[in-house]
Amino acid sequence: MPRPGRNTYSDQKPPYSYISLTAMAIQSCPEKMLPLSDIYKFIMDRFPYYRENTQRWQNSLRHNLSFNDCFIKIPRRPDQPGKGSFWALHPSCGDMFENGSFLRRRKRFKVGGVQAPDPLAPSGKAHDAAHYLQQQAKLRLSALHAAAAAAHLPQLPAGYNLSSVSQPSSFKHPFAIENIIAREYKMPGGLAAFSSAGYPLHSQLTPAWPHMYGSGMMDTAAPISMGPGDYSAYGMPLKSLCHGGQTLPAVPVPIKPTPASVPGLHGLPCAHIPAFLANSPQSLSPTSPQTGRSSPAAPGEPLPSSASLLQSVVAVH
Binding site for DNA (CB under 7 A): 16-19, 35-37, 40, 56-60, 62-68, 73, 81, 83-85, 87, 96, 101, 103-108, 255-256, 292-296, 298-299
Q: How many CB atoms lie within 10 A of CB 41?
A: 16
Please provide the size of the chain in residues. Answer: 317
CB of 226 to DNA, least distance (A): 28
DSSP alpha helices (H): ranges in the chain? 18-28, 36-46, 54-67, 124-150, 177-186, 217-221, 238-242, 306-316
CB of 227 to DNA, least distance (A): 31
CB of 245 to DNA, least distance (A): 26
CB of 37 to DNA, least distance (A): 4
Residue type present at position 282: Q
Cα distance from N-terminal residue to C-terminal residue, the chain: 53
CB of 164 to DNA, least distance (A): 28
Minimum CB distance to DNA smaller for 93 or for 221: 93
Report helix angle 54-67 to 36-46, nearest 10.
130
Minimum CB distance to DNA smaller for 3 or for 107: 107
Burial of residue 294, with CB atoms counted within 10 A of its CB: 0-12 exposed, 13-18 middle, 19 or more buried: exposed
Query: Residue 23 in contact with residue 16, Cβ under 8 Å?
Result: no
Query: Residue 163 in contact with residue 222, Cβ under 8 Å?
Result: yes
Minimum CB distance to DNA smaller for 289 or for 292: 292
Minimum CB distance to DNA smaller for 60 or for 164: 60
CB of 301 to DNA, least distance (A): 12
CA angle at 269 for the pair 255 and 172, rounded to the nearest 5°:
80
What DSSP state is assigned to residue 73?
E
- What is the four-CA torsion angle of 153, 158, 162, 166, rounded to 10 degrees? 100
Among 167, 115, 172, 159, smallest CA distance to 142 is for 167
CB of 57 to DNA, least distance (A): 5
Minimum CB distance to DNA smaller for 59 or for 164: 59
Minimum CB distance to DNA smaller for 85 or for 287: 85
Query: Residue 197 in contact with residue 286, Cβ under 8 Å?
Result: yes
CB of 17 to DNA, least distance (A): 3
CB of 85 to DNA, least distance (A): 4
Residue type present at position 65: L
Kindly list the distances between the CA atom of residue 186 and the CA atoms of 28, 59, 101, 102, in Å, as whole numbers in the listed order.
21, 34, 13, 15
Minimum CB distance to DNA smaller for 109 or for 234: 109
Minimum CB distance to DNA smaller for 94 or for 168: 94
Minimum CB distance to DNA smaller for 129 or for 224: 129
